[in-house]
Amino acid sequence: MQRDMQDAVDVTSWVSVCPGGLWRVQRKWKHKWTQQSSSNTGDDASCLSNYCPKLGSLCRVRVQLKAQTDDADGLSIKGNETLAVNVTELVPTPILRRQDAVLQVPLGDWTTLRLGEGQCDITEACLEGMRAGEKCEIQLTPTGTGPEASLQQPSDGDLPLCATVELQAFTPGKESWEMSPIERWEWVKSHKERGGGRFRSGDVWGAADSYSRALKLLIPLCGLVGEVEDYLQETQQLPSSDQLKIKKAELHSNLSLCQLKLNQPQRAKDSAAKATQLEPSAYKAWYRLGQACQKLNELDEAKEAFKKLLELQPDLPAAVKALKEITSREKERNVQLGLRLSKMFS
């Protein structure tokens, strides 16, 4: 039974992370909200029609390409057309991320995604604001000047990509602030592991996204651990504050490596600097800090970073080579400076 039903049209835009880079998403959908609703699946564990998925929700979703159209009436509630789903039986659909695809889900098929894993950032971002039985329309275009801008045509279809996202049903989830420290820690570990796998497969954008997701959960977790550390240490369910600090440094360092690969030297420098502050003995972070400073032509800072690296790893070939390159660049810079000065006073 539903009462006080009203229509509402929502149009939003944002930037999402895909294997090829960053894409701008414009979403439009017409939804209905009520002051009181009943479950469309008949299961108390399923989501009521005026609720939205949260972190960890298993979402039964279908993504379909569609011809570009300006007809807003094409957006509609599809609840009457969807079949009842027993949400207790939902299991995530195994999907491999592809470098040539923007939409990382099988098109036209019902797929089950776990919200928050970043399998398809675009689809997940849509689901965060949708209700069971709703359908939205999205238009995707590459943005920026990175690798994604040179992508001629993704395997998904012509540019700009136009598609519909339909949410059939989903299981309950939690906002991050509703989670216990142990639940947050499990998410941090899964994001870090997923980031490593993506990086090894060449999905650098995806790896950076996973490390960023892990940090967003770990940073507030570090502050909470002190309050419950004695209990958690007794039950051995959570690392100590110092161990979490080291993990945080590792994530910043890994993120810095991704940012270097993505030609984002300033961001890489900032991430590596945070890692070295948290863990001064993190030699990989010092190396990445030196690399980032080199790319920014901040030779003095780069030299200091590589010197610190040699203190931790004496005679490390990469650091020795980097210092030689910096010395050579400094000599070239001094020669050019001398030539400019001589012209000024000649």
Task: Read off the pLDDT of residues 2-16 as tens digits, 9 standing for 90 and up.
Answer: 434 456 677 889 999
The whole-angstrom separation of Cα 132 and Cα 169 is 5
Angle at 37 between CA 34 and CA 38, to 5 degrees: 160
Q: Which residues of the chain have a pLDDT value below 50?
A: 1-5, 34-50, 68-82, 145, 147-152
Architecture of domain 177-338: Alpha Horseshoe (1.25)
pTM to 2 decimal places:
0.83
**Burial class, 67, CB count within 10 angstroms (exposed 0-12 / middle 13-18 / buried 19+):** exposed
| Closest CA relative to residue 241, chosen from 268, 222, 266 | 222
Task: Give the domain ranges of the chain.
Answer: 6-173, 177-338
What proportion of the chain, given as a percentage, has pLDDT over 90? 56
**What is the predicted pLDDT for the residue at 170?**
95
Edge to edge, the sheet with strand 135-142 lists 6-18, 21-33, 135-142, 161-170, 58-65, 110-114
